[in-house]
């Protein structure tokens, strides 16, 4: 569909442009809600809509007060600190275990491969409320409920499917003769892994890690049940804010999170291209 052919009829022309407009509207639907949040977060008033001053682009209508509030409020700061403390540890756990398992799964002759895969992916499929309830009951029985490690373990379990999926996808194109060559030249399996295999699958591992990180950083249902007030994370604080009295500080937090996700998205895209180049595929 590279442009309209010169012989297109009027009907075809009309449809061609109508179709483009429809697609444009859908893209608008996808992106507008996220974009709208950004200017609103600079609102000088405590409103959730554009004030007349903002529409006139009057500097009076804009301010950084919601950001100041976010950085000075102890509740929000505690929540931010908790999120920053929990997500990286959960990520490290799921990436280290997940990468090993993905390498195991990519070998030939793995017994019950399909069943194992289905079990490992299940945390992504099982409704969060069921996982949350199960972990709540089970963790309170073994004394992990309401503890830092309880939340970390729960989030690590939720992040694992993403690591498995991204790392196995990278391993599909992995040339096994490279490890054989390394072994042939006298490298032991550990050296082979860290010096030959790891650098090649690293892009997949990192993008898996970013997925696991965002899963934990963004997770609210499980932490609501497994955590206690001491583990209140950023999404939890946002959830409370949205449910009880909605304060415009949420818009500032949302904008910051959008910036974080743009950074993550860019990193993942760059990694994907690098990975495809390393494996000799043409970048799509």
Partner 1 sequence: MSDMTDTGPVLAADGTPLKRSLARALRRQKLRALMLIAPLLLFILISFILPVGDMLYRSVKNDIVSKTLPNTVVALESWDANSGDLPEEAVFAAMATDLKSAAAAKIHTKVGGRLNYENPGISSLFRKTGRKAKKFDLEAETVWKDELIKINKGWGDTDVWRTIQTYSSPITAGYFLNAIDMRVGPDGPEARPEEEQIYMKLLKRTLWMSMMITVSCILLAYPVAWILANLPARKANLLMILVLLPFWTSLLVRTSAWKILLQQQGVINDILVWLHIVPDDARLVIINNQFGTIVAMTHILLPFMILPMYSVMQTIPVSYLRAAKSLGATDWTAFWRVYFPQTIPGIGAGSILVFILAIGYYITPALVGGTKGTFISNQIAFHISTSLNWGLAAALGAILLAVVLVLYWAYDRIVGIDNVKLG
To partner 1, the closest distance from the beta carbon of 102 in angstroms equals 9
Site for partner 1 in 260-279 (CB under 8 A): 261-262, 264-265, 268-269, 272
Integer Cα distance of 212 and 88 in angstroms:
9
Report the alpha-carbon distance of residue 224 to residue 133 in Å, rounded: 10
212 touches partner 1 by CB under 8 A = no
CB of 113 to partner 1, least distance (A): 9
Instruction: Give the whole-angstrom CA distance, residue 171 versus residue 22.
Output: 39
The count of residues interacting with partner 1 (CB under 8 A) is 93
Check binding of 50 to partner 1 (CB under 8 A).
Answer: yes
Kindly tell me which residue out of 238, 249, 252, 275 binds partner 1, with binding defined by CB under 8 A: 238
Select from 220, 211, 217, 126 the least CA-distant residue to 164: 211
Give whole-number Cα distances, 179 to 1, 124, 191, 199, 256, in Å: 43, 32, 10, 12, 43
Q: Each residue of 118-147: b (16+ CB within 10 Å) or e?
A: eebeebbeeebeebbeebbeebeeeebbbb
Q: Residue 84, interface with partner 1 (CB under 8 A)?
A: no
Find residue 62's DSSP bridge partners: 43
**Sole binder of partner 1 in the list 54, 120, 212, 223 (CB under 8 A):** 120
104 lies in the site for partner 1, by CB under 8 A: yes
By CB under 8 A, residue 4 contacts partner 1: no
Task: Report the 10 Å Cβ neighbour count for 163.
Answer: 29
Q: Smaller CB distance to partner 1: residue 28 or 71? A: 28
* Residue 198 binds partner 1, judged by CB under 8 A: no
Whichever of 159 and 200 has its CB closer to partner 1, that residue is 159
Applying the rule CB under 8 A, the residues between 9 and 38 that interact with partner 1 are: 12, 15, 19-20, 22-23, 26-27, 29-31, 33-34, 36-37
Q: Which of 64, 100, 198, 281 binds partner 1 (CB under 8 A)?
A: 100
């Amino acid at each position: 569909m590279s442009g309209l052919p010169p012989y297109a009829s009027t009907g075809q022309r009309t449809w061609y442009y109508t179709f483009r407009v429809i697609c444009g509207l859908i893209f608008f639907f996808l992106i507008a809600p996220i974009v709208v949040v950004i200017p609103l977060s600079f609102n000088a008033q405590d409103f959730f809509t554009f004030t007349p001053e903002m529409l006139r682009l009057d500097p009076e209508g804009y301010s950084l007060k919601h950001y100041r509030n976010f950085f000075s409020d102890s509740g929000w700061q505690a929540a931010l600190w908790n999120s920053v403390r929990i997500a990286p540890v959960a990520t490290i756990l799921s990436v280290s275990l997940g990468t090993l398992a993905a390498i195991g799964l990519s070998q030939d002759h793995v017994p019950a491969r399909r069943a194992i895969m289905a079990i490992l992916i299940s945390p992504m499929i099982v409704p969060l409320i069921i996982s949350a309830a199960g972990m709540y009951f089970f963790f309170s029985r073994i004394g992990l409920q309401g503890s830092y490690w309880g939340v970390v373990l729960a989030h690590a379990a939720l992040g694992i499917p993403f690591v498995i999926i991204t790392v196995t996808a990278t391993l599909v194109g992995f040339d096994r003769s490279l490890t054989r060559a390394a072994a042939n030249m006298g490298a032991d399996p550990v050296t082979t892994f860290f010096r030959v295999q790891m650098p090649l699958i690293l892009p997949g591992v990192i993008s898996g890690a970013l997925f696991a990180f965002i899963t934990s950083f963004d997770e609210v249902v499980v932490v609501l049940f497994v955590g206690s007030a001491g583990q209140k994370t950023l999404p939890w604080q946002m959830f409370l804010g949205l449910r009880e009295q909605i304060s415009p500080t949420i818009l500032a937090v949302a904008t910051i999170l959008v910036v974080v996700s743009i950074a993550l998205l860019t990193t993942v895209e760059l990694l994907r291209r690098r990975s495809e180049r390393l494996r000799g595929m043409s970048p799509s």
